[in-house]
Structure 1
Amino acid sequence: MTSPDVHDRITVIDLPKAWGLVVLRGVLAVLFGLLALVWPGLTALALALVFGIYALVDGIGLLVDAFRNPDKSNRGMRILGGILGVAAGVVAIVWPGITVAALAILVGAWALVTGITEIVAAFRLRKQIEGELLLGLAGLLSAIFGILVLLWPALGVAAIAAFIGVFSLIYGIVLIALGLRLRKLARQ
């Protein structure tokens, strides 16, 4: 069994390697947000497909991180978030005729679990890296968004698209900032 000091050093050394994955998640979130805002009249079908692709890629990213990151303390939450993301993506892609309310519940559940995972990770990383606040902020935004969507799933398609668009833009920008900070840490 390794001492906490050795474990912390290993995590700090390996964490910055994930910066590209974090930036990719952020860029995809920004693109998804822009699409939802620029094209608010998306049908539920198109919105479900676009969300499905985003959630699938994001879920795969979380699963890759869960198995590549040597920090096992938060692995279960990352695996849960990744599985939920992949499942939400597959359901939205395979069953694109999903109703707006069902899509909202799917999006809300995914955002809530992702947010909780990121908040937990930020708390665990606060002694190891600078910039954990950005991860915590991304998690808080995601969790709040998830709760709001779960509370009001019957909003119209345009309202859901705008809501998702604004959230995705902010969330993506925060993830990009975090990824760039991790990149800087990796170069040190």
Structure 2
Amino acid sequence: MSLLFSPFVSLLARSWWLLLLRGLVAIAFGLVAFFFPGQTIAAVALLFGAYVLADGLIGIANALGRSQRSTGTRWLLALWGVLGVAVGVLTFIEPMRTAMVLIVLMALWAVLIGVVQLLAAWHLRQVMPGEWLLAVLGLLSLALGLTLAFSPGAGAVAMLWLIALYALVAGVLMVLLAFKLRRINRRLHTL
């Protein structure tokens, strides 16, 4: 199959700059996480706590503001809100424990993203040179996710450094892939 007839490659090539931007953001995050690990862990946990607390308060307000006819769902909204407030407050009291829970969620995310990246690389293998970069990124994502999932006893700072290393490598790979896609985009526009 020719590169020109692949709608998937054309779509990726047209939005090469978004991949470049994602790569640069990943590199920036990786650098911040390496040089300021404690602050990064606390910041991520506290940001999560602020979001959950706000969501819980809005849920409670929504439950209290419902009409009397909707009492069947009011308790669900109130429960959702109370749980949000409780998790938010606990996050502010114990941000490092919250960070450990977030690491488990990151592990799940990394494994799922790795699988998607490997599937995309497999799809691109016949229509685009350089798809191996996406395959390497997928393998790195899987490695990160599995390491995070099976190393719960490791310190949060060590996990953050692993995530920072992943972000740096993934960012560089995304930047390289973005420039390959930019060249393809130029070829598509010259035809």
TM-score (norm 1): 0.68
In 2: Cα distance, 1:8 partner to 1:150 partner:
40
Shift of 1:13: 2.8
Cα gap change, 1:7/1:39 in structure 2, threshold over 3 Å: closer, same or farther? Answer: same
In 1: Cα distance, 2:139 partner to 2:20 partner:
18
Partner of 1:75: none
Shift of 1:132: 0.6
Give the 3-state SS of the residue equivalent to 1:42 in structure 2: helix
1:14 to 1, 8, 11: 11
Report the structure, 1 or 2, having the larger helix content. Answer: 2
In 2: Cα distance, 1:147 partner to 1:101 partner:
15
Cα gap change, 1:43/1:34 in structure 2, threshold over 3 Å: closer, same or farther? Answer: closer
Identity of aligned residues (%): 34
Give the 3-state SS of the residue equivalent to 1:99 in structure 2: helix
- Stretches of structure 2 that go unaligned for 5 or more consecutive residues are 50-83
Partner of 1:121: 120
Partner of 1:109: 108
The one-letter amino acid paired with 1:20 is W
In 2: Cα distance, 1:151 partner to 1:46 partner:
24
Q: Does 1:48 align with 2:45?
A: yes
Partner of 1:34: 31
Shift of 1:6: 11
Which structure's CA Rg is the greater one?
2
Partner of 1:138: 137
Shift of 1:112: 0.9
Q: Does 1:162 align with 2:161?
A: yes
Shift of 1:5: 7.7
Shift of 1:159: 1.0
The one-letter amino acid paired with 2:183 is K
Partner of 1:25: 22
Contact 2:118–2:135, Cα closer than 8 Å, also in 1 = yes
Cα gap change, 1:7/1:20 in structure 2, threshold over 3 Å: closer, same or farther? Answer: closer
CA RMSD of aligned residues (A): 2.8
Shift of 1:7: 9.8
The count of corresponding residues between Structure 1 and Structure 2 is 145
Shift of 1:43: 5.9
Shift of 1:15: 2.5
Contact 2:32–2:40, Cα closer than 8 Å, also in 1 = no
Shift of 1:130: 1.0
In 2: Cα distance, 1:132 partner to 1:6 partner:
12
Partner of 2:58: none
Shift of 1:51: 9.1
